[in-house]
Structure 1
């Protein structure tokens, strides 16, 4: 936290000397202060071409994010991120246990060839055991959203556009493996950068989801008397056990191997199998697109619906903040990211915080 104030003078040091008077000049020359010289150490650090420490306000922050004066780790830009794009909003937070945020998101709105609106949300979760998971999630979310926002106005069917967007995201992550390692990554055999991905495209009458990994999408209707639904199936050990009939869902997710993923984006993925699904909801609602940092604290569709604010479709940014807060209140053991996409899609500027 920033700190300020004045240090007390040492004992015995008078506020003003009684025995010494500096001889004053008869005249003072009028001269502008030299902008290169400052008594403010923070200004000196900034002038040296670096950021100033948020703790001591004196030291310069080095390339690794630590103060050269007091050693304090500086907040990273990705520790907490919020964005609103028309009716779509997303919030991402580092959580309470991780040293950095390895999640990423991208949201946007566009128009289809007939002029009707379309909303897009992509959420990615970096694989912590891999090299540069934060770079992987950022590259994937950016590539997927750019692909969708380019394809939809051209008339590509939203489900095909989602499939192609996941392929584009995979290529972006794969390309990171070919880049030279940084000075902090000396091990020659580390796993290639990797992440999961989940996305949603919402139009006036269609809801498309796509995913690889264990990040999820949920459907929560505005009318809470109607049932909510989970729209994705995890690529995970637990999901495989349940699908094979070897364990109940409760048993599988209680196992320590539950969150071991069986599908991801990355150069060392076994085989890329983008999953896509299309839905035609018969009533208004909101799509919750999130990483396991959220759904670990609201796993079932009914649980998720209970923590989604009733006005989420009208106030997506506020509601995304509420959901992130729910995960942090629950322990915040992981990075947490959530995007909210109202259905049906509304035109740009119709959303509000």
Structure 2
């Protein structure tokens, strides 16, 4: 028989999801460091960081048929229960993506519907003391290319084994660097920025939160860091080592925030395909 943990805020009982049954507070050590892998070799690492009591980042990673699906969410620190918002959004978004891709829907349409469903799931958490909020980032990789959808400031990058690396998302930020789009409290209807890429060779799709990009703000810096850790071009098969290297860099640099990195391998397309980037206006 094991002891049931008590809440550090009110002394109540902590539920299996790491939250108190009575007051909803998160257990401080819950989800402090997580690693996930998928059969295709994709992997993700999330860490609480060195200055946060709770890890309010969340990630989901799954494979369905020839598609690999990843979702990364970052709880908005000024909103209550931000960690729960991120978890709910990541799970809801990934679930819809898998279902719609299995039905044969176009990736762009699947991404739009998944973002909307994630937004409704977070909004449903609203309570009398306020509503949680989070950013949202989803990525799909398959034989026809890769697609991303973003709301907020979590970012996607294409890191090829050869050729220039590139950002696949844009931050939703306005005056004084404030977020202009998110899921949850006071958010408008989700309008994700959707982008697609048909790569000309192998590489990896990186999905990450701003706990990483505050230290590695662009694609070039990310690739250089992976190369220094032996996980750069030519070593794309080990996605878990790559994710660990990126998260480890952020922690070594200060770890001021929660940090999450999900790496998805992308196989080379048929020789006839050319690299094309398309953007769907928000």
Q: In which range does the TM-score fall when normalised by the shorter chain?
A: 0.7 to 0.9
2:13 to 55, 63, 66: 63
Distance 1:74 1:212, change over 3 A: closer
**2:21 equivalent in structure 1:** none
State the 1:305 CA deviation.
1.2
- What is the Cα deviation at residue 74 of structure 1? 6.9
* Structure 2 unaligned regions, length at least 5: 19-25, 270-282
Deviation at 1:322, TM superposition (A): 1.0
- What is the match of residue 216 of structure 1? 155
**Relative to 1, partners in 2 of residues 1:156 and 1:76: Cα closer, same or farther, differing over 3 Å?**
same
Structure with greater Cα Rg:
1
Call closer, same or farther: CA 1:345–1:176 in 2, change over 3 Å: farther
> Conserved in 1, the CA contact under 8 Å of 2:57 and 2:87?
yes
Q: 1:96 to 1:321 in 2, by over 3 A?
A: same
In the alignment, structure 1 segments of 5+ residues that lack a partner are 1-42, 53-60, 66-72, 112-116, 182-187, 239-256, 347-353
With the length of structure 2 as denominator, give the TM-score of the two structures: 0.83
- Deviating runs (4+, > 2 A) in structure 1? 61-65, 73-77
How many residues in Structure 1 have an aligned counterpart in Structure 2?
Answer: 250
Cα shift readout 1:152-178 (whole Å, capped 9, x = no counterpart)? 11100111111111111101101111x
Alignment of 1:99-118 (within 5 A): 99-111=53-65, 117-118=66-67
Q: Distance in 1 between matches of 2:235 and 2:108?
A: 25
Q: In structure 2, what is the equivalent of residue 98 of structure 1?
A: 52
Distance 1:82 1:93 in 2: 9
1:261 to 142, 166, 179: 179
What do the CA deviations read for 1:101-123 (whole angstroms, capped 9, x no partner)?
Answer: 00000000111xxxxx1101000
Matching residue within 294, 299, 324 for 2:217: 299
CA contact (8 A) 2:29 2:53 kept: no
Q: How does 1:152-231 map to 2 (within 5 A)?
A: 152-177=101-126, 180=127, 188=129, 190=130, 192-223=131-162, 226-231=163-168
Deviation track 1:161-200 (CA, whole Å, cap 9, x = no partner) reads: 11111111101101111xx56xxxxxx4x3x211001111
Distance 1:234 1:344 in 2: 27
Q: What RMSD, in angstroms, separates the aligned Cα atoms of the two structures?
A: 2.3
- Distance in 2 (alpha carbons) for counterparts of 1:97 and 1:312: 32
| Alignment counterpart, residue 81 of structure 2, candidates 121, 127, 132 | 132
